[in-house]
Structure 1
Amino acid sequence: MQGNVKNLKISILGASRSGIAAAKLLKNRGADVFVSELAKEKEMESAASVLKNSGITAEFGGHSSRVFNCDFCVISPGISINSDIAVNFKERNIPVYSELEVASWFIKGKIIAVTGSNGKSTVTSLTGEILKSAGLDAYVAGNIGTPLSSVADKITQNDYAVVEVSSFQLEAVDRFKPDTGIFLNLTPDHLNRHGTMEEYGRLKALLFKNQTRDDAAIYYGDSQIVNKLMSDCSGNKFEFGLKNKEKRAGFVEDGILTCIINEEKYSLLHINELGIKGEHNVLNAIAASLAALVNKVEPAAVESALKTFKGLQHRMEFIGEVNGVKWYNDSKATNVDSVIYALNSFSEPVVLIAGGRDKDSDFTLLKEPVKKHVKELIVIGEAAQKIERALNDVTDIYRASTMQDAVNKASKSAEHGDVVLLSPACASFDMFENFEHRGDVFRTLFRKIEL
């Protein structure tokens, strides 16, 4: 069936970006596609218009019994595999797949897939830039924003799909198998959906479950939990970390980013030459370098991209300086560990803006870095009170009702030589459409101060 869906009946749950992309891909491949969306049509006018213009039948405002009249279902990453509707499919013995799984069936080229709690988007984008600097055609897609289904048919045998993969997408994979898999780290996140770290880790490790010795498995060796999860991986393993250890493939030696592939040593560049800053980004650069080198990219192309890649919006993004105060947008920091990485990147005093929708996080883990780096903490959103309770004995805390209020307070509190950092440690959906919207609002408000 995989790769040949002609005349099959396929139901797609969710009319978001990935759902629409999957629907169009499968229809173009000859399938009879039906899209079902819980939200009302007036709330999804753009999606409804796209589906109608593509000749795809859809329903809005709930899932009718028609969704079960299918050969298999494609589920949106926003819908849990344990939701009532997904369980209903399983009880009827109807296979349920993620958009990632289905898109991978149609890809002729190589897949490089990146997962982990933090750094996925950076490593995905950087790997894509390295491949492009080597003259290769690389399509960056997945959880980073462009659904894999929207580019699957464009990827030829000599091309690469560089895919950011979330735990939500991995809930419903079957035969998904990356030629190169990267496991960056694992820290508490999405526990409001997955329940336990054990389940969260199990899902992340599914990225590697179908690999063979012909595939590359790149992973962070300084994490005990990642090491344990990778112990059963059948892929050709390449461990990385900051320090050199026996049989380690990627590390820093005398300040030089170094990789060893098949006993050949590549001393690439000094870490001070990296276009992205911070210890966490050194690890990201090592992971991306290993991915490129195992795919036989010339070291010169790797070095060039490492120097010129300056990072992504909403990820430790420097947005400007006013009156000697530097402002950074780290809206993508939606978990506690991301904020720890961010704070440890600064030697200057920090005015931190944090908060949003809690993902069942333990904010007490922020005590040490906040005490060390933060002169004032401004909290926003639904998690404000929980963050206050966790950190009220380590720094001054101010509660803001809106992002405007938070930015105004930060601009008054920060002094010459300070840093203002938006690094929320929470999801954005209580006040914003997504983390990009949150970061864009923050940047717009800063521009008004700048003027």
Structure 2
Amino acid sequence: MKQNLIGPVGILGFGVEGKSTLNYLLRNGIKDIVVMDKNPVELPELPSDAKVQTFDGEKYMEGLKNCVTVVRSAGVYPMQQELFHFQMNGGVITSQIEIFLAETNSRSVVGVTGTLGKGSTVSMIRHALNACKIPCVIGGNFGVPALDLLEDDSADRVSILELSSFQLMTLPMSPHVGIVLRVSTEHLDWHKSVEEYRDAKANLVRWQKRTDYCVYIQDAAPSAAIARESGAQKLSYGSKDADAVFTPDSLSIDGYTLKLSDCKIRGAYQLENMAAALLAVKALGADVATALQSLKSYEALQFRMEFKGEKRGIEFYNDSYATRPDATMAAVRSMKRPFSLILGGSEKNADFTELSNLLATLPNLKKISLIGATAKRMLESLKLAGVSVPKQIFPGLDEAFADACSLGEGSAVLLSPACASFGLFKNYKVRGQCFDALVEKF
């Protein structure tokens, strides 16, 4: 092992990532383990020689006193007094991503971060590399935990990691190719400030060397600022004077052009993600022309501006994954037909001003149907912004869907809630499934 994990080794946070860490430690012969989680800890069946202690409940951090090294799960905020105290007394804190970057035999690691589009971009890179006959895997915040990828590691493959600010916050190393998508604000219920959030993102490229590559969107000031932290070779994408240039309906790179109308996916903002993916392919030395051609057949991830077909002359788009105002802003900008918008969900105290101001300027927006705990506050914001189209609050998605369909032939219905789903639905996936079922019935 390239990274010396001196035991006893603690696992801080025992969700999906923590369970993956336990498997990794056991695979590598580390049997003296301390599991810590605020929630009740239920251990799987363990080898007979494993010595695993558990600490849960309010005093779960007391397990730190029994550890020499701790693997922090991404969801555990690192700037806590107990963790500072642990390190001041000689304890070492690491993470799944740090271990993966130190251990992997991958020919290259691509890391992708940003506020929007991470999942789409990593899956586009995989799609393009598959077309170029380059073996690759996806993990991190999307797909499987990073340490699970080490179980079947290979020197001929590329590892593509989606990385959140939680995973990047204390990372002391960077991948070979770092991609910085649009960065705005998010997770301010976890991060102490916008500055802390963006500073965490910067660790993706902050430790890069001259032989590495930093791909970034130059049109977004926070992303461009993060890219300046990197000492790597820069590849930019933007609306002009960039290595890859996108317009509302096409993108150009190395003399090749990809038209959105030739692609299976919808949404002008997806051209930004495609530009980032193609620059990653270029950085890896793969054939850009083959990669670009392959993206014509790329299909949207489920519930991410997913085109559900046309029925009775109405197009349906499922963007249930849009749990933030800026995600919905990207979705509505890409709509071509007259459309109805279904908005609303659970309350995260997001500011809807910018979204409302944008909606007031869209001539093809014809109706807004509101649901969930945020509906009243959204309605007030829409009125304040001067949104003049009919807008009404409904008790649930069924009623809002029926209202949205009333524009009739030649229109479109977009579910892009700008809010989380809790209250009405278990999560955004269930919300998306319910929308799909309503489309099927229609």
TM, length-normalised to structure 1: 0.87
Query: Is residue 2:299 matched to residue 1:301?
Result: no
Q: 2:266 aligns with which of 255, 271, 277?
A: 277
1:440, distance to aligned residue in structure 2 (A)? 2.2
> 1:389 corresponds to which residue?
380
Distance 2:430 2:23 in 1: 26
- 1:369–1:416 CA distance, 2 compared to 1 (3 A): farther
Distance 2:40 2:398 in 1: 31
- 1:83–1:321 CA distance, 2 compared to 1 (3 A): farther
1:51, distance to aligned residue in structure 2 (A)? 5.9
- For residues 257-283 of structure 1, what are the alpha-carbon distances to aligned partners after superposition, in whole Å with 9 as ceiling and x for unaligned? 333xxxxx3425444323333321111
Q: 1:417 aligns with which of 406, 410, 413?
A: 410
Q: 1:193 aligns with which of 190, 214, 217?
A: 190
> 2:401 corresponds to which residue?
407
Query: Is residue 2:145 matched to residue 1:147?
Result: yes
Unaligned runs of at least 5 residues, structure 2:
none
Q: Is contact 1:388–1:397 with CA below 8 Å preserved after alignment?
A: yes
- For residues 338-391 of structure 1, what are the alpha-carbon distances to aligned partners after superposition, in whole Å with 9 as ceiling and x for unaligned? 111100111223222222344442211112432214323233333333322211
Q: Is contact 1:181–1:207 with CA below 8 Å preserved after alignment?
A: yes
Distance 2:352 2:68 in 1: 44
Q: 2:350 aligns with which of 361, 379, 389?
A: 361
Distance 1:51 1:83 in 2: 31
- For residues 39-91 of structure 1, what are the alpha-carbon distances to aligned partners after superposition, in whole Å with 9 as ceiling and x for unaligned? 236xxxxxx36465896654554516224311222233333224566556456
Q: Is contact 1:268–1:299 with CA below 8 Å preserved after alignment?
A: no
Query: Is residue 2:122 matched to residue 1:124?
Result: yes
Supply the AA of the counterpart residue of 1:298.
D
- 1:341–1:51 CA distance, 2 compared to 1 (3 A): farther
Q: 1:217 aligns with which of 205, 214, 217?
A: 214
Q: Is contact 2:341–2:414 with CA below 8 Å preserved after alignment?
A: yes
| 3-state DSSP of counterpart to 1:33 | strand
Supply the AA of the counterpart residue of 1:17.
V
| 3-state DSSP of counterpart to 1:191 | coil
Q: Is contact 2:218–2:224 with CA below 8 Å preserved after alignment?
A: yes
In percent, how many aligned pairs have the same letter? 29
1:150, distance to aligned residue in structure 2 (A)? 1.5
Query: Is residue 2:251 matched to residue 1:291?
Result: no
Q: 1:439 aligns with which of 416, 421, 432?
A: 432
Q: 1:348 aligns with which of 324, 337, 348?
A: 337
RMSD of the TM alignment (CA)?
Answer: 2.7
| 3-state DSSP of counterpart to 2:201 | helix
> 2:204 corresponds to which residue?
207
Query: Is residue 2:101 matched to residue 1:104?
Result: yes
Q: Tell me which moved more, 16-25 or 213-222.
A: 16-25
- For residues 398-418 of structure 1, what are the alpha-carbon distances to aligned partners after superposition, in whole Å with 9 as ceiling and x for unaligned? 22333344334434x442222
Q: Tell me which moved more, 416-425 or 116-125.
A: 416-425
TM, length-normalised to structure 2: 0.88
Distance 1:254 1:12 in 2: 46
1:11, distance to aligned residue in structure 2 (A)? 1.6
> 1:249 corresponds to which residue?
243
Supply the AA of the counterpart residue of 1:329.
N
- For residues 101-134 of structure 1, what are the alpha-carbon distances to aligned partners after superposition, in whole Å with 9 as ceiling and x for unaligned? 2333321111101111111111110001111111
Q: Is contact 1:144–1:164 with CA below 8 Å preserved after alignment?
A: yes
> 1:378 corresponds to which residue?
369
| 3-state DSSP of counterpart to 1:439 | helix
Distance 1:185 1:304 in 2: 24
Supply the AA of the counterpart residue of 1:222.
D
| 3-state DSSP of counterpart to 2:354 | helix
Distance 2:421 2:73 in 1: 19
Supply the AA of the counterpart residue of 2:202.
A
1:313, distance to aligned residue in structure 2 (A)? 0.5
Distance 1:53 1:349 in 2: 61
Unaligned runs of at least 5 residues, structure 1:
42-47, 260-264
| 3-state DSSP of counterpart to 1:127 | helix
Q: Is contact 1:11–1:68 with CA below 8 Å preserved after alignment?
A: no
1:301, distance to aligned residue in structure 2 (A)? 2.6
Q: 1:428 aligns with which of 403, 421, 438?
A: 421
Q: Is contact 1:349–1:419 with CA below 8 Å preserved after alignment?
A: yes
| 3-state DSSP of counterpart to 1:193 | coil
- Equivalent pairs counted in the alignment come to 432
Distance 1:404 1:94 in 2: 54
| 3-state DSSP of counterpart to 2:103 | coil
